[in-house]
Amino acid sequence: MGAVPGSALAGHIWFPPDVNASEDFPATAHGGPVTHPFAEPRVIDKQVLRTALKQRRREHVAAIPAMQLGLLFRRPPEALVRLVPEGATIGLYHEMPAEAPAGHYARWFFERGHRIALPWFADRAAPMAFREWTNPFVEDLLEPDPFKAKQPASDSAELTPEVLFVPLVGFSDRGGRLAWELVITTAGWQPPAAPGDRPRLGLPAGR
């Protein structure tokens, strides 16, 4: 349900020295060639890593007692609530199995006067938009989306969230989110304009 820390996202390998030295790699005191002092980073396939972390998350959630599970994410922490402007439109997601139950947050903010927006796609190749979930207490207002989750109906009002709670499955030791090559902005999810772009206010929650 939570994310996996950065220690799981990076690895390094060392190549052992050759048995015999050469003209290109002169012998050292131990008889082998001079070795490079730095480890060579291992390239990790993002999709493979996502699959592994999702499995670890499923196992973690399965181990939580049902009584305790029902109490998680009932409301956002007070320190986080203080960051949310009064009346701001809140962008959330409709959770899939083992994801943090964002619906609890949707209902909590809705009861306090916030409009709730969920991602909406016309099809799998379409850009993401956000449409209003007019009442998060009524699941029947949602319909299947192209990715096996749920989204508002196509005639729901299109909104621009001012605060986003985004899915999260893992992160680096620098806080970088393991995700597709996208950056979250108040206008939606778009390719980053430049390396290092960051959302104005993004609040990771659990995919």
Bridge partners for 40 per DSSP: 13
pLDDT at 49: 82
User: Can you tell me the distance from the alpha carbon of 25 to that of 32, in angstroms, rounded to the nearest whole number?
Assistant: 8
Q: On the CB side of 95, how many CA atoms lie within 13 Å of its CA?
A: 20
Q: What does pLDDT average to in each consecutive run of 10 residues of the chain (207 residues)? A: 46 39 46 47 69 88 87 90 94 89 94 96 92 96 93 96 86 69 42 42 43
Contact 152, 142 (CB under 8 A): yes
pLDDT at 14: 36
CATH 3.80.10.10 fits 67-204, yes or no: no
pLDDT at 134: 97
Bridge partners for 184 per DSSP: 189
pLDDT at 42: 54
Position 17, amino acid: P
Q: Which two tokens stand for residue 203?
A: 């609040």
| Residue whose C-alpha is closest to residue 93's, from 113, 73, 79 | 73
Contact 5, 171 (CB under 8 A): yes
